[in-house]
């Protein structure tokens, strides 16, 4: 279609290899909507400012709207030899409306054009991801509410540590996703400034009004400095970082789901909709989905590091290196959206095997700390002495093949007669969990408080 519409200096046709290396159309065609919206706003501003005529604007406007339909209906395929989406659309517009189309690029460069298109894309997808995060938080909160009394061994070093409830565990992830949501929203606010009207790097002698384009495109205001604006890809780095952090949280949850699905745990059962079989072992049910979520986290981290590396040595302003900014972002955004959709569905559908979780609480003397705390609080022992006495009690339980919560008062007192009557009840795992009543703690009452607080927050979003 539009060959070399912007090559006044170049007379020979480009080598095929140059085109293969140089052309971004095969991937930046994703930006066609943003490109057309940006051009509509720019052309409107040009006509408002008397830089182009109202007649030319009318032609440009109807031409661009037709092109949008042509693209969406597949008539205009975006697989030609054009260098990028900007040239493809401008070329098609000129075919359709002639000279008016050639006036569209007045007071604009592809440098501010691509900065605009890409920023619009990032802003929109930031909102999509933030919304999906809210759905995931709501799902986790719902599971938490159903399981604020379901006990499982809380772990450190992947060793049984203290009894907690499953709702509390889910609320830990809900809290991470809440911070992720806040990170996306704060990036959105920080980057919601309009790049268009900056031209190549230095502004333009045409009497543009950047406020008009900014308003039409839904930005807070035009950016401050044009040299920065055409050079900056912080907004893209921010979405990449936000996705990486969010996926890192998702990956930790996935890792736990994988472990908990194993025969050694059997704490959760993923629904058949979210598990796959083996091609050779007929008995197998594999947790491929959480494994993929965990694996994709590596990929999005790669995209973040790739763009940081592309940007680190670039002199101001635009350099063609920056065309490398897009594929990683498109990939991370697609990955984040799909992963969040799958995660919400998988969490909502999984079965929580309460009996297996609670049985696991009888392994590992989870309430041992409660005995030490009792000796300190009720008998005035220094903590270190209490710690040693408790160690001896644990050794006795081990010798008898029992959990500390199963020892009788006589057995407890055989180690130290300062252990009083109430202790047997204290060492019960549920009592132990509910004793952790400090703010943010695991006691069911505190867990329910956390659930209420996140529900309130969700309602305000
Ligand atoms: N396809 C280019 C990119 O993605 C558009 C900007 C080109 N600007 C330029 N001066 N060559 O970065």
How far apart, in whole angstroms, are the C-alpha atoms of residue 109 and residue 201? 9
Is residue 16 a contact partner of residue 77, using CB atoms and an 8 Å limit? no
Q: What is the mean pLDDT of residues 118-146?
A: 98
How far apart, in whole angstroms, are the C-alpha atoms of residue 209 and residue 207? 7
How far apart, in whole angstroms, are the C-alpha atoms of residue 90 and residue 105? 8
CA of 110 to the centre of ligand 1 (A): 6
Look over the chain and give the mean of its residue pLDDT values, rounded to a whole number.
Answer: 96
Give buried/exposed letters for 201-232 (b at 16+ CB in 10 A, else e): bebbeeebebebbbbbbebeebbeebeebbbb
Question: Does the pLDDT at position 1 exceed 50?
Answer: no
- Pairing verdict, β 193-194 and 221-222: parallel
Q: Candidates 31, 84, 109: which one to mutate for ligand 1, based on the most atoms within 8 Å of Cβ?
A: 84
Convert the pLDDT of each residue in 267-319 to its tens digit.
Answer: 999 998 887 887 878 787 899 999 999 999 999 999 999 999 999 999 999 99
Nearest 10 degrees: CA dihedral of 290, 294, 300, 306?
-160
Residue 161: in which H helix or E strand, if any? strand 159-165
Query: Could you tell me which residues are beta bridge partners of residue 162?
Result: 154
Query: Could you tell me which residues are beta bridge partners of residue 229?
Result: none
pLDDT of residue 6: 60
Is residue 332 a contact partner of residue 301, using CB atoms and an 8 Å limit? no
Q: What is the mean pLDDT of residues 76-98?
A: 97
How far apart, in whole angstroms, are the C-alpha atoms of residue 302 and residue 310? 12
Residue 113: in which H helix or E strand, if any? helix 110-146
How far apart, in whole angstroms, are the C-alpha atoms of residue 299 and residue 267? 29
Question: 21 vs 83, 213, 303, CA distance in Å?
Answer: 10, 33, 19
Pocket flag, ligand 1, residue 110 (CB < 6 Å):
yes
How far apart, in whole angstroms, are the C-alpha atoms of residue 253 and residue 291? 10
pLDDT of residue 281: 81
pLDDT of residue 2: 41
pLDDT of residue 4: 57
List active site positions: 157, 278
Is residue 325 a contact partner of residue 233, using CB atoms and an 8 Å limit? yes
Q: What is the mean pLDDT of residues 187-199?
A: 98
pLDDT of residue 282: 78
Q: What is the mean pLDDT of residues 65-80?
A: 97
CA of 111 to the centre of ligand 1 (A): 6
How far apart, in whole angstroms, are the C-alpha atoms of residue 303 and residue 240? 7
Give buried/exposed letters for 359-377 (b at 16+ CB in 10 A, else e): ebbbebbbbbbbbbbbbbe
DSSP per residue over 177-231, as a string?
HHHHHHHHHHHHHHT-EE-TT-TTTT--SS---HHHHHHHHT-SEE-S-HHHHHH
Confidence of residue 13 (pLDDT cuts 50, 70, 90): confident
CA of 323 to the centre of ligand 1 (A): 6
| Percent over 70 (pLDDT), the chain | 98
Is residue 134 a contact partner of residue 251, using CB atoms and an 8 Å limit? no
Convert the pLDDT of each residue in 402-438 to its tens digit.
Answer: 999 999 999 999 999 999 999 999 999 999 999 999 9
Tokens representing 278? 């083996």
Is residue 95 a contact partner of residue 209, using CB atoms and an 8 Å limit? no
* Residue with CA nearest ligand 1 atom 2: 323
Pocket flag, ligand 1, residue 23 (CB < 6 Å):
no
How far apart, in whole angstroms, are the C-alpha atoms of residue 58 and residue 48? 12
pLDDT of residue 5: 61
How far apart, in whole angstroms, are the C-alpha atoms of residue 293 and residue 14? 42
How far apart, in whole angstroms, are the C-alpha atoms of residue 270 and residue 349? 7
Query: Could you tell me which residues are beta bridge partners of residue 268?
Result: 352
pLDDT of residue 151: 98
Q: Candidates 109, 316, 323, 327: which one to mutate for ligand 1, based on the most atoms within 8 Å of Cβ?
A: 323
Pocket flag, ligand 1, residue 112 (CB < 6 Å):
no
């Amino acid at each position: 279609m539009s060959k070399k519409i912007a090559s006044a200096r170049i007379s020979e046709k480009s080598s095929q290899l140059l085109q293969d290396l140089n052309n971004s159309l095969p991937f930046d065609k994703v930006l066609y909507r943003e490109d057309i919206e940006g051009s509509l706003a720019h052309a409107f501003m040009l006509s408002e400012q008397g830089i182009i005529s109202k007649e030319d604007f009318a032609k440009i406007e109807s031409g661009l709207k037709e092109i949008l339909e042509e693209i969406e209906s597949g008539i205009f395929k975006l697989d030609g030899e054009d260098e990028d989406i900007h040239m493809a659309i401008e070329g098609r517009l000129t075919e359709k409306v002639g000279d008016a189309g050639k006036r569209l690029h007045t007071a604009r460069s592809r440098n501010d054009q691509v900065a605009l298109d890409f920023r619009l894309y990032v802003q929109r997808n930031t909102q999509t991801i933030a919304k999906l995060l809210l759905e995931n938080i709501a799902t986790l909160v719902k599971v938490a509410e159903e399981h604020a009394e379901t006990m499982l061994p809380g772990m450190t070093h992947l060793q049984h540590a203290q009894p907690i409830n499953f709702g509390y565990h889910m609320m830990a992830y809900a809290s991470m996703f809440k911070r992720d949501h806040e990170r996306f929203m704060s990036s959105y606010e920080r980057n919601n400034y309009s790049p268009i009207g900056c031209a190549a790097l230095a502004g333009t002698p045409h009497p543009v009004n950047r406020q008009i384009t900014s308003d039409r495109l839904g930005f807070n205001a035009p950016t401050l400095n044009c040299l920065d604006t055409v050079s900056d890809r912080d907004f893209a780095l921010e979405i990449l970082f936000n996705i990486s952090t969010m996926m890192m949280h998702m990956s930790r949850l996935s890792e736990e789901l994988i472990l908990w699905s194993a025969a050694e745990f059997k704490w959760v059962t993923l629904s058949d909709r979210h598990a796959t079989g083996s091609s050779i072992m007929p008995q197998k049910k594999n947790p491929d989905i959480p494994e993929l979520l965990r694996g994709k986290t590596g990929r999005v981290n790669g995209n973040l590091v790739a763009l940081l590396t592309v940007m680190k040595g670039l002199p101001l302003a635009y350099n063609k290196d920056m065309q490398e900014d897009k594929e990683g972002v498109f990939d991370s955004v697609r990955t984040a959206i799909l992963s969040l959709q799958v995660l919400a569905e998988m969490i909502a559908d999984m079965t929580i095997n309460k009996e297996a979780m609670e049985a696991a609480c009888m392994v590992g003397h989870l309430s041992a700390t409660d005995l030490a705390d009792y000796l300190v609080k009720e008998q005035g022992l220094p903590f270190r002495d209490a710690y040693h006495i408790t160690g001896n009690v644990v050794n006795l339980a081990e010798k008898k093949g029992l959990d500390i919560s199963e020892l009788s008062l006589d057995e407890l007192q055989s180690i130290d007669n300062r252990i009083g009557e109430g202790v047997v009840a204290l060492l019960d795992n549920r009592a132990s969990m509910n004793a952790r009543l400090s703010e943010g703690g695991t006691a069911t009452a505190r867990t329910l408080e956390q659930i209420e607080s996140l529900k309130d927050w969700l309602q305000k979003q």
